[in-house]
Structure 1
Amino acid sequence: MNDDHLTEFAGLPVVAFTPGTRPDEPRPPAGEAAWAVRGDWANEPYRDVFARFMDAVDTTQVTALVIGFWGFDGAGGVGARTLVEAAGRFPNLRAVFLGDIVDEEFHISWIQHDDITPLVEAFPALERLEVRGGLNLALSPIRNPNLKVLRFESGGLPAEIVRAVTASDVPALERLDLWLGDPQYGGDTELGDLAPILTGERLPALRHLGLRNCVFQDEIAAEIASAPVVARLETLGLGMGLLTDRGAEELLAGQPLTHLSTLDLEYHYLSEPMMERLRAALPGVRVELGEAQGAAEPDGGDEDDEWDTEMYIAVSE
């Protein structure tokens, strides 16, 4: 799920600026790329790479920025703080991806952050914020009339983040994605924390909702079955977690989902008959299922061995 760096962000091709990037290298106009500033383990500090980037690119024209690996010195949040300190250099910034860090650089559960509230406050015109990693991540309720996309990718999203989102004033928000994760990796969100999202009262513009990668995915499905917010959605994502036939049965027995353009359940623990029932019940909906997880391989080579029924969310460590 996080094996490759972004190649496109906010509708723009990603162009990387790294410790090996020379100032005289040919590059596209500043406003025609999503600029990815990435450090590495062995070379110059991230702050130095970012400073060279600002010298080489007309940052007044940059609209999309991708913050990559910022090193590991025991302190999280270097990437966000570096950007906040330079906020005046980016008057047209509208989209930020914080933590474009792939698994071979750092496991998602190792990506260290701190309070990202200052980042949101430093860019009041921000329309898109996507964050990968949840370790030490903090957020206070925000007020942003322009924010349209908010996405948190995590193997364990702190409940504090979910509660801050539900208490925020973001009337223009159209897309919300939360990878809730596993309690073993800090994902302490409970079903009740999602209630303000499911009512939709504070999210009048919401058209896409993703509540994914969760150990209690069946319980979320049961709540979705009667959640008021669903009637206005165009797309819904409930995949990547421990969704079983029990949760799918709740979905089928609940409110109609035929108005959706897409129902994304990819990475699940559904039986083949249930998958067929979902497709049949939603003929006009793109139901994304992929292959079922679960007892796909026996524990050993002996055909008499018991099948492995251990269940895991898609992204944890």
Structure 2
Amino acid sequence: MNPFQYVRPSKQQAAIDAVAKDPTAKFIAGGTNLVDLMKRGVMTPHKLVDINRLPLNKIEQQNNSLRIGALALNSAVAEDRQVREKQPLLALALNAGASPQLRNMATVGGNMLQRTRCAYFYDTTMPCNKRQPGTGCGALEGVNRMHAIFGFSDKCIAVHPSDMSVALVALDAVVQVSGPKGNRSIPFADFHRLPGNTPEKDTNLEPGELITAVDVPDGPFTKHVHYQKVRERASYAFALLSVAAALDIDGSNNIKAARLAMGGVAHKPWRLTAAEQALVGKPATEETFRQAAAVAMQGAKAFKYNAYKLKLGPNAIVQALKTAAAA
């Protein structure tokens, strides 16, 4: 690990200024991803700005949204009464991620910013446009069984690893950030980026901007929800593919509203808006769910080793919807 400077400001503006003035500086909270990347030489910041002293860990109702501070621990959010009652899909997704030990350290903001687990990104001897732009994408012709089937480019086919973010994009969350130019709100669907020609850019944050909170709007999705995570082992494994499903079903078993998103399939959490629209007004039956799954998979394209996702994807969507409907 390269030597670095460590500072621990107690004021939010001081933390923002410290990162804004140094292009090599990084915010650090739980460090469950960043420290690992530093040990492997994937990231080499010259300065770490510890933000744990900032008062950004509250979970509270504000107007018509539940505001979750960026420093709230994943375990605390998953166990919070308000979250479990108002946003149970988020609690399910958080409990599906990582191990209890990591959830006790990882923060909401850090979870959103975690970087891909692509083996070519982590291996500094291999080409990777995300780690070193212009060197190529080793996964394109390499071992790509974990990789994207939507939204990729010839520069990068890596996927975003967060479970929490899949639920947040489905729930129309809004990210609150503060930076050198002031405060702004970013719809969660616009927070992460597709790779395009700049796969090294994971998000639309500007230099020096700090995530302060995530707002999850109140909605009808408090009962019929499910987070389906398909992985190679039951604990502490990243998703081969995941589905966040939420339904609002009336007394006649018809779907009034729906939310669907997938993880493990794209460079960002993948919202399935067309499939949601295909569900609305239909009965909550397996036939309806299979029709929506077919819509969801339109445009998917596989590589040599991840063609199984083309079959796994619609099956996981149907199973997630069936489980949500039965809840």
Q: Same fold (TM over 0.5)?
A: no
Normalized against structure 2, the TM-score is what? 0.26
Larger radius of gyration: 1
